[in-house]
């Protein structure tokens, strides 16, 4: 009984302190933050939360884009409860925050995904982030990535087989490709970065991907509801219970991947001890996966990684390496399927490089596909997988005429920055030629940042681009595509990544070369 009483009192003091701290900061920041432009909150304390949560998923992004368009100077604030979120939508301001070596701490928003990703590379800060980034970077050297091209080609071939099955099943009716590209990307990241074959594309349902989507939706919903900030409230709600169950699913899957890899390493170690063929041993070392590097670091470094730290990094890269790239490939199919001229140019380029050959694509050939490269960049401009990144300011930061107080959250709105008409004329028009060298010469370097930028840029961006180019190459060598929806009626929403509300429905027609 005494222990229960102490627990209740301690919990009450912690909650009370947090509430007091929030209210104190609210009044401390209020005058300085309110000097910035921004939509007027209808209610004190609640801010614009009530307005946001009453919007449908597909309306939130449109609502926010409409608001951001009002503030042409590229900076405005929105109150979510007692927390001010300062948003920036111009490359000039983006450069200030992304190039900074001081303001690299992720915002409190990322705390909502820590139960899932822990202190992996995406969520960590300070010395831990520096240590992990330095440790992991060699695993994503482009020379190493090229060694995995044959794996990507293999998984792309499986995707083409699944597409053929869907065409036979649906006939002239379009079908959803969003989950299909996600499964392909999950297969690729697990076999290349983790060194484990999970065979996700053979599964009718992908439990892991569904769990990731559930987590993503619940994180965003929680962000918009200030009263759910406290864990002891949130985990008693329906959404909190779904969130917890989905996390258990992803953790179970990542643990299986780690255990499978460990078993394979032990088996190979035994074989090597029994005079394994030297060439096979060299090949194994050359194609050392990201997870191999982590497991070696847990054994041989000055500060060994714990099992929990390994799982955090595996969770991070399984998510970041499949959800974002899978979305990129789907949005690319959507855009190309809406523009016959673009698709014709892609086919012409592929014919020039491959001719009548049916041999799998090589990295040398991939580098020759300049037009496809521009197409992918334009897809990432219009439909960046990560629509925003945010920082928690460790000290006051000057942005133009405004001083943003230390402790505030600053959010860089990538989706809206990429549609800034000052830097991207006619921004809603899909035009790969924007990325011709002569059209890119005077463009601000931070006007296109689908992989963020500066010290905390995406460590896997080269891998993602290589993967997307190989998979799309293999698809368009065999298919002509047509989108059911167009740029005007497609419904989008943000749940950590940019997702379609109702899938991305496509028709696929076997391609015959003349």
The percentage of residues in the chain with a pLDDT greater than 90, rounded to a whole number, is 43
pLDDT number for residue 284: 47
pLDDT reading at 122 higher than 90 = no
* CB 464, CB 320: distance < 8 Å: no
Predicted structure pTM score: 0.89
Instruction: Report d(CA 94, CA 348) in Å as an integer.
Output: 37
Q: Give the pLDDT of residue 234.
A: 92
Q: DSSP 3-state assignment of 368?
A: coil
pLDDT band, residue 514 (cuts 50/70/90): very low
pLDDT digits (tens, 9 = 90+) for 183-230: 999 999 988 888 888 888 887 777 888 899 899 889 988 888 878 888
- Is residue 494 classed as helix, strand or coil in its secondary structure? strand
Nearest to residue 461, comparing CAs of 94, 142, 135? 142
Q: How do residues 307-343 score in pLDDT, each as one tens digit?
A: 788 888 888 888 888 899 999 999 999 999 999 999 9
Instruction: Determine which of 137-141, 182-186, 278-282, 475-479 has the lowest per-residue pLDDT on average.
Output: 278-282
User: What would the pLDDT profile of 369-424 be if each residue is shown by its tens digit?
Assistant: 999 999 999 999 999 999 999 998 888 899 989 988 888 889 999 999 999 999 99
- Indicate the pLDDT class of residue 278, thresholds 50, 70 and 90: very low
- CA–CA–CA angle 64, 66, 69 (5° rounding): 110
Q: What is the pLDDT of residue 106?
A: 81
Kindly tell me if the per-residue pLDDT of 15 is higher than 80: no
Could you read off the pLDDT of 153-196 as tens digits, one per residue?
Answer: 999 999 999 999 999 999 889 999 999 999 999 999 988 888 88
505-510 sheet: strands from edge to edge: 175-176, 505-510, 479-483
- Statement: residue 101 has pLDDT above 70: yes
Residues 261/194, Cβ–Cβ less than 8 Å: yes
Query: How far apart (Å, rounded) are the C-alpha atoms in residues 426 and 420?
Result: 9
Task: Give the pLDDT confidence score for residue 379 in this predicted structure.
Answer: 98
Question: Does position 2 have pLDDT exceeding 60, yes or no?
Answer: no
**305 phi and psi angles, rounded to 5 deg:** -80, 140
Distances (CA, A) of 241 to 109, 223, 231, 232: 19, 16, 11, 11
**Is the pLDDT higher at 228 or at 472?**
472
Token reading at 143: 């020379």
Contacts for 375 with CB less than 8 Å, ≥ 6 apart = 332, 335, 336, 342, 346, 432
**Mean of pLDDT values over 11-22:** 51
DSSP string for residues in 150-191 = HHHHHHHHHHHHHHHHHHHHHTTS-EE-HHHHHHHHHHHHHH
Once rounded to an integer, what is the mean pLDDT over residues 60-75? Answer: 87
Q: Report all structural domains of the chain as residue ranges with CATH numbers, in order of start.
A: 34-510 (1.10.630.10)
CA pair distance 498, 332, nearest whole angstrom = 13
User: Cβ atoms within 10 A of the Cβ of 307, count?
Assistant: 12
Interior angle at CA 224, CA 219 and CA 229, nearest 5: 70
pLDDT band at residue 281 using 50, 70 and 90 as cut-offs? very low
Instruction: For the chain, state the CA radius of gyration.
Output: 24
- Residue with the larger pLDDT of the pair 262 and 145: 262
Of 285 and 241, the structure prediction assigns the larger pLDDT to 241
In this prediction, residue 183 carries a pLDDT of 92
CA–CA separation, 78 vs 64, rounded Å? 10
Residue 275 has pLDDT above 60, yes or no: no
Give the H or E element holding residue 246.
Answer: helix 238-273
> What is residue 153's predicted lDDT score, i.e. its pLDDT?
95
2, exposed or middle or buried, with CB in 10 Å at 0-12, 13-18, 19+?
exposed
The overall average pLDDT reported for the chain is 85
Q: What pLDDT, on the 0 to 100 scale, is given for residue 17?
A: 44
DSSP percent split of the chain into helix, strand, coil, nearest 5: 60, 10, 30
| Coil vs helix vs strand at 486 | coil
Q: What is the pLDDT of residue 282?
A: 45
**pLDDT tens-place string over residues 367-384:** 999 999 999 999 999 999
Arithmetic mean of pLDDT, 74-98: 89
Whether the per-residue pLDDT at 352 is higher than 50: the answer is yes
């Amino acid at each position: 009984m005494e222990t229960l009483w102490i627990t209740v009192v301690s919990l009450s003091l912690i909650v009370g302190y947090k509430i007091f701290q929030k209210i104190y900061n609210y009044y401390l920041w209020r005058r300085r933050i309110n000097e910035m432009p921004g939509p007027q909150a209808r209610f004190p304390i609640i801010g614009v939360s009530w307005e946001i949560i009453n919007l449908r998923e597909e309306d939130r992004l449109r609502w926010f884009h409409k608001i951001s368009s009002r503030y042409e100077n590229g900076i405005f604030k929105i109150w979510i409860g007692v927390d001010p979120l300062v948003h920036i939508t111009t490359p000039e301001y983006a450069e200030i925050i992304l190039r900074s070596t001081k303001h690299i701490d992720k915002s409190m928003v990322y705390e909502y995904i820590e139960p899932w990703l822990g202190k992996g590379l995406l969520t960590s800060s300070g010395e831990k982030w520096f240590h992990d980034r330095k440790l992991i970077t060699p695993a994503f050297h482009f020379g190493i990535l090229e060694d995995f091209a044959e794996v990507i080609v293999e998984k792309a071939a499986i995707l083409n087989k699944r597409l053929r099955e869907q065409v036979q099943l649906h006939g002239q009716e379009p079908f959803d490709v969003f989950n299909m590209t996600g499964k392909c990307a999950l297969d690729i990241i697990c076999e290349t970065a983790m060194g484990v074959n999970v065979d996700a594309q053979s599964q009718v349902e992908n439990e892991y991907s569904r769990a990731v989507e559930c987590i993503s939706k619940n994180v965003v919903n929680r962000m918009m509801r200030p009263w759910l900030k406290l864990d002891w409230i949130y985990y008693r709600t329906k959404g909190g219970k779904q969130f917890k169950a989905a996390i258990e699913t992803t953790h179970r899957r990542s643990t299986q991947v780690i255990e499978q890899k460990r078993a394979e390493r032990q088996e190979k170690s035994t074989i090597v001890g029994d005079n394994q063929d030297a060439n096979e041993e060299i090949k194994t070392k050359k194609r050392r996966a990201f997870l191999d590097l982590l497991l070696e670091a847990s054994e041989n470094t000055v500060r060994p990684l714990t099992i929990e730290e390994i799982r955090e990094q595996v969770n991070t890269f399984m998510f970041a390496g499949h959800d974002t790239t899978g979305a990129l490939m789907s949005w690319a199919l959507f855009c190309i399927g809406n523009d016959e001229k673009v698709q014709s140019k892609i086919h012409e380029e592929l014919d020039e490089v491959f001719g009548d050959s049916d041999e799998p694509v090589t990295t040398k050939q991939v580098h020759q596909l300049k037009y496809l490269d521009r197409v992918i960049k334009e897809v990432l401009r219009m439909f960046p997988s990560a629509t925003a990144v945010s920082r928690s300011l460790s000290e006051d930061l000057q942005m133009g005429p405004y001083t943003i107080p230390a402790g505030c959250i600053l959010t860089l709105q990538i989706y809206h920055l990429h549609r800034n008409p000052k830097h991207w004329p006619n921004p809603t028009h899909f035009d790969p030629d924007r990325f011709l060298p002569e059209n890119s010469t005077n463009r601000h370097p931070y006007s296109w940042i689908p992989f963020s930028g500066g010290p905390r840029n995406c460590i896997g961006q080269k891998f993602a681009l290589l993967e997307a180019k190989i998979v799309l190459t293999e698809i368009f060598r065999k298919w002509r595509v047509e989108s059911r929806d167009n740029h005007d009626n497609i419904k989008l929403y943000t749940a950590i990544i940019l997702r379609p509300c109702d899938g991305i429905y496509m028709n696929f027609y076997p391609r015959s070369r003349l």
